[in-house]
Structure 1
Amino acid sequence: MLDDKQADRAIKALLKHVEKKKAQSKDKLIDDDQAVWLIVATKKFSELSKTKPCRIPLEHSLLPLDAEVCIFVKDPQKQHKDLLVQKKVKRIKKVIDVSKLRNNYKPFQAKRNLCDAYDLFLADDRVIRLLPRMLGKTFFKKKKQPIPVNMTRSNLQAEIARACESTYMHLSPGTSLPKYTHRIDLKLHLTSTRSAIKIGTTSQTPAQVFENLQTALPHIIDKIPSKWKNIQSLNLKTSDSVSLPIYNSLPDEQKMIKTKEEAIKYGMEADEMVVAEDK
């Protein structure tokens, strides 16, 4: 389905653009390594949001071995610190249990400082559902949602390594459609769900980013309902670049809403709108 040559050209153009921008800029901060994102747009929105992200394998890890990794665990904290030492897990720099997270990181600034302090956040999968409320929006805006790991695995070292060496896709509902209060023929434009998956960094070579894309894409498509039939577009971009298309599908025919039941199904307020009538 994907044109490899087009994808390869897009990756090379994207990395060349970043290098050119670095050379022209006097701002030293632009030398920081940037993420290369694969933007996946689907034709139909997802009705369910998943707290747990989908793990996607990569050919080349995005995290350096000296990356700062923090993990959220069940109480008590010391028990899990001892477990990590016992299992010879060396990549974790900070362990925070739920009680300390709740009590020590209530202020917004404390949450923001915590978010900025580490490259990756992991979490015991038994507490993952508690974290969105305690962490707030900062972690999600910066795409640093904690990654679930199974702390009961016999080979905990391998479990943590897989978590650090993979990338992740977060599935969420599509954008809500507006409420209509005028008598019109209402057509439903199915809003696409857009997922951003980190598949490379600007410090990697074009070949490494391309190999990551080739490894990740089949797993990404497999996680999406209806697979390739539901893919509207695939684009590559960095945080401050334009999107470069590598795949586009022709849009499906618009669907007419004819009943209040259909309006409710797609998240609209049926009592505040007039649905289209058969003609």
Structure 2
Amino acid sequence: MADKTEVALDRTQVKKAVQALQAFLKTKSTQDSLLLDDTQQISLLFTLWKIPKQAQTIRIPLPHGQRTDTDEVCLFTRDEPNMTPDQTQRFYKRLLEEKGVKNVSEIIPYKLLKTEYKPHEAKRRLLGNFDMFISDDRIRRLLPSHLGKHFYERKKEPLCVNLQSKHLARDIQRVVQGTSLKVTNRGCCCMARVAHSSMTADEVTENIEATVQTVMAKIRMKGQVMKIIHIKSQSSVALPIYTSSLSHISALQQADKSATTPKEKGGGAAKKQAKKRGGEAKQTVATAEGKGEEEEVPQLVPIETPSKKPKLEVEPVMERSYGGIGRCKCSFWFAVAHDILGIFIMMVGVFGGLAIHDLFIYAGAIVIFLSLIWWVFWYSGNIDVPPEELEDDVGMIKLKNHRLSRVVRRVSSRLSSGIRNSFRKNGRSVREGNGRPSHAGTDMRISTVHDSTLASSSKELEMETLSI
């Protein structure tokens, strides 16, 4: 199990799956796609037995190019010293022409990428205009901060190329027409593009075989790696072309058992010691029980606690519930009547054709406005307030000493009535005298009456307090 097991593909089975997929794509192609020469990608879907511990990117050269001639390729280059971006573009165009490279459609220097493609919309537009991006390996560490996350989410990050290579055309051809497989440590499935729908069945089959061999040779995993391999397109189901056997599962179980047996052997002595300790503990417990049978164990008598008085359960007071209109029905019907009357008067003024229609319109509006008073009364009367919050009101105060309250009320009533009677008598005497100088007598009368009332009220107050 130390070495990787080889994946033996059945060429005839792979070719049958490719032919079936191509037949399906032909039946699904529409007239518009045929006119536009719209080709679909054909990819391999790898399903592994285990999730890889490390992420890995595998470069896969293909015997037949998996990109069409219409695919747009963009090249990011470094800034040449003492050159402007335009001069750098012309310099690398001449270099590619001299080396015989023809599949690069656009060249963008690093300085131009930082200035013109800094906005977010410009980056999105750049991502949509090209099918593939390659870059000079001298600036590969500088690109991620200027490209953004969308290039990596859509798996269009630039592939590195050595522009100083002597075989530049061959290297660029391998990168452009080859493919790559990204093996992540987040799942056990990964996909690689290997062909397009315009290729023949034999070419697609050869690309599939080369891809599987390269992946099995470069993947950083041991033992049984590949579980299932499928072939699919963008709009089709996945067709299986390889399925691994389940014979290695028994070998894995045996390996797990062999890994656990040394631990059990090493722990045998510890288990024996634990058993001995357990036997000694049981013996000590047995001797303690024998001694306990001979001696009498004192019995515990529960202490009686004084019984607490039962709490008085207060029955909740059921408040009266009002349904429908609720309280203050008179206010409600007064408000409705005012609204109806006001609307009627306004309609007479609008549609009656009278000469004084303005008066009717204003009068109806005033009546409707007055109905707001009755609506306020009705709404405030239906507000539910708990009795606890009404204890501070006049009629809800809980007086602890009712006799004292009676004395206070009587004293206040006597004082007010005495003062009122004195003023009445004073007015009568003034009217009877008709201007005679008898002010001293009247003053004496008022003062004596006022003193007598105060004395009587004070005596009554003393008697009430003594009775309390």
TM-score (structure 1 length as normaliser): 0.73
Q: How many residues align?
A: 234
Give SS of 1:195's match.
strand
Matched AA of 1:95? I
What are the equivalent positions in structure 2 for 1:116-127 lying under 5 Å apart? 116-127=128-139
Give SS of 1:207's match.
helix
Give SS of 1:14's match.
helix
Match of 1:246 among 235, 241, 248: 241
Measured at CA, do residues 137 and 3 of structure 1 come closer, stay the same or move farther in structure 2, by a change above 3 Å?
Answer: farther
Give 5+ residue unaligned stretches, structure 2.
1-7, 257-468
Give SS of 2:62's match.
coil
Residue 12, structure 1, aligned to residue 16, structure 2: no
What are the equivalent positions in structure 2 for 1:261-276 lying under 5 Å apart? none
Residue 39, structure 1, aligned to residue 45, structure 2: yes
Alignment-derived partner of residue 61 in structure 1:
65
Note if contact 2:61-2:175 (Cα within 8 Å) is conserved in structure 1: no
Note if contact 1:221-1:228 (Cα within 8 Å) is conserved in structure 2: no
Match of 1:216 among 211, 220, 230: 211
Note if contact 1:70-1:94 (Cα within 8 Å) is conserved in structure 2: yes
**1:71 deviation in Å?**
0.7
Measured at CA, do residues 32 and 227 of structure 1 come closer, stay the same or move farther in structure 2, by a change above 3 Å?
Answer: farther
Match of 1:138 among 135, 139, 150: 150
**1:46 deviation in Å?**
2.9
Q: Distance in 2 between matches of 1:141 and 1:238?
A: 20
Note if contact 1:75-1:98 (Cα within 8 Å) is conserved in structure 2: yes
Q: Distance in 2 between matches of 1:195 and 1:74?
A: 32
Matched AA of 1:73? T
Note if contact 2:67-2:177 (Cα within 8 Å) is conserved in structure 1: yes
Q: String of CA shifts for 1:107-138, please: whole Å, max 9, x gaps.
A: 33322221222232111122223333432333
Alignment-derived partner of residue 78 in structure 2:
74
Measured at CA, do residues 45 and 136 of structure 1 come closer, stay the same or move farther in structure 2, by a change above 3 Å?
Answer: farther
Alignment-derived partner of residue 84 in structure 1:
96
Residue 199, structure 1, aligned to residue 194, structure 2: yes
Q: Distance in 2 between matches of 1:135 and 1:36?
A: 27
Alignment-derived partner of residue 275 in structure 1:
none
Note if contact 2:67-2:196 (Cα within 8 Å) is conserved in structure 1: no
**1:225 deviation in Å?**
2.0
Matched AA of 2:231? L
Note if contact 1:72-1:123 (Cα within 8 Å) is conserved in structure 2: yes
Q: Distance in 1 between matches of 2:177 and 2:149?
A: 25
Matched AA of 1:144? K
Structure with higher RCO (Cα < 8 A, 6+ apart): 1
Larger displacement relative to structure 2 (73-82 or 239-248)? 73-82
More strand by share: 1
**1:160 deviation in Å?**
1.6
Match of 1:168 among 164, 167, 180: 180
Match of 2:166 among 137, 154, 158: 154
Q: Distance in 2 between matches of 1:231 and 1:118?
A: 33
Q: Distance in 1 between matches of 2:78 and 2:60?
A: 25
Matched AA of 1:16? A
Q: Distance in 2 between matches of 1:227 and 1:27?
A: 48
Note if contact 1:11-1:209 (Cα within 8 Å) is conserved in structure 2: yes
Note if contact 2:136-2:161 (Cα within 8 Å) is conserved in structure 1: yes
Matched AA of 1:229? Q
**1:27 deviation in Å?**
5.7
Higher radius of gyration, 1 or 2: 2
Q: Distance in 1 between matches of 2:39 and 2:126?
A: 20
Measured at CA, do residues 241 and 228 of structure 1 come closer, stay the same or move farther in structure 2, by a change above 3 Å?
Answer: farther
Give 5+ residue unaligned stretches, structure 1.
175-190, 256-279
Larger displacement relative to structure 2 (10-19 or 225-234)? 225-234
Give SS of 2:171's match.
helix
**1:243 deviation in Å?**
1.1
Alignment-derived partner of residue 236 in structure 1:
231
Cα RMSD for the two superposed structures:
2.8
How much identity, in percent, do the aligned residues show? Answer: 34
Note if contact 2:133-2:158 (Cα within 8 Å) is conserved in structure 1: yes
